[in-house]
Structure 1
Amino acid sequence: MSHLVSAVQLQQLQIDAEHGVGAPVRLLDVRWRLDRPQGRPEYVRAHLPGAVYVDLEHELSRRGQPQDGQHPLPALEDLQHAARSWGIDDGDIVVAYDDNSSVPAARLWWLLSGNGIDARVLDGGIRAWAGEGLSIEQGDVLPAFGRVTLVPDNQAALTIDDVEDFARRGVLLDVRTPEQYSGARTVGAPVGGHIPGAVNLPALATLDGAGHFRSPVAMRRIFAAVGVHAQSDVAVYCGSGVAAMHMALALAHAGIRARVYPGSWSQWSNTRGRSVAEGILPAGRVSTI
């Protein structure tokens, strides 16, 4: 199953749907950045024709305490209500995109594909679409309410207790920057460092200079360098619980299934009694929060 689509492939999916030889295509605009979480103004100014805006902070996350992490997963019933409000019906193909290296779009992909939806990400985002000379529209899109029913797969998400000893039996990837991983720099966390045993592989290492995902072959070479292979038991985490899904998408593109620790460093670093490793090595200098 394809997890990514190019702008040209997306256009063909839409043409097939219009001619009744393919499933309906629903476009979701997930404009979001950690330092500017509200992406609706950008969406209103320019988006793919028919695309519906998705609010990552309120529809792809839920409110929680610091010990829950910065972006706790939404309850299934809330996610289903949101998906229906986006106009999704059973059998639809959902294509998500953004203007931020596919990071927020990957969170939507992860949430929907893990709950029985054929979800994909537009490789290169809105820039790739515009770069092909395809049309852009302005304003807001309010679709008719859909009737999709989500079918959950709870195997993809790890709890904080699940991840405690994961590195002893599998490969735990920390996808933050090397500075955040080592503890030299902290972003929105009370302490720096990483989960003991975790291996560092920044999420954006999976993209080329144009913001597109590298080929599956190139991706497998990158993953092999950190000990991840086709049959590896692998899990990923990041800072706030968003970029980890981007790495899960990159792994899926390479044919490797990964689980995600959604609480990520924002939860781990706010939980007393957890161990923290500092330095550039997985074992690092270990202390306790």
Structure 2
Amino acid sequence: MISVFGSANMDLVAYVGQAPARGETVTGHRFRTIPGGKGANQAIAAARAGAQVAFLGAVGDDGFGAELRTALTEAGVDVRGLRQMPGSTGIAHIVVDDDGGNSIIVVPGANGTVTGPSGEDMAAIARSDALLLQLELPMEGVVAAAQAAQVSRVPVYLTPAPARPLPPELLGAVTTIVPNEHEAAAITGVSGPENALEALLQQVQEAVITLGSDGALYGARSGERLRVPAAPVKAVDTTAAGDTFVGALAVARAEGRGMEEALRFASTAAALSVQREGASTSMPTRHEIENALN
């Protein structure tokens, strides 16, 4: 089982030819509401990739919260750890341009109340084969969840987004950190993914830097280094590609696959996701991933 301690947002997605500059108004050509949030996205990605998944987080007592609970349940995710809090559910305002690029504003809502795992959350984490974390919850909650996993010897995957300074007590509990190249540079203060990788390995056991169309770069303190290319695809919408990658990577590793095979599985899942619109709605099933690999 994989546990995800993270955010659940409703994505409010506007599609435009070109994203507006500051002070500029543009006319979009479509609008959608799509279940999202980095935590919920990773939970759905892992479930579709073939894992049993428990989601630990919070939504508000509004309509968006009910929709998110339904979306997670329909994807096969266990939502017994999804709390309902008074007030609004988190939202993400996303602008997607015709080249598939995106910009995102997140308003935490109920996510901001998750300042630590409950007793039931900690029991779920202890039973898990992996714990997935991101940074859309309060930092003290993320640290507490990581430390609970560390005590139970459960591997911890951290997606450091939105990028911010990472406390030593969090890094000390992380097994594998999975930033994109921009997040890696922001965290380390080092330019160039290879240099950032080496800087990250001074702080964690393993690091995977996702490079978009250039694939992914992996390193471990043991000295192992790998670069896995991305599949050559036309991106329609890159929203949640990173979350798809992390969810699929954790599934493959939990199944005992070697890192190179796991990276190819994850890269294939991400490549399939960018060819579809939306966040959770773009994530491939295990059957689709395996077909694309063969």
Is the TM-score greater than 0.5?
Answer: no
Larger Cα-atom Rg: 1
Report which structure shows greater RCO (CA 8 Å, sep ≥6). 1
**TM-score normalised according to structure 2 size:** 0.29
More strand by share: 2
**TM-score normalised according to structure 1 size:** 0.29
More helix by share: 2
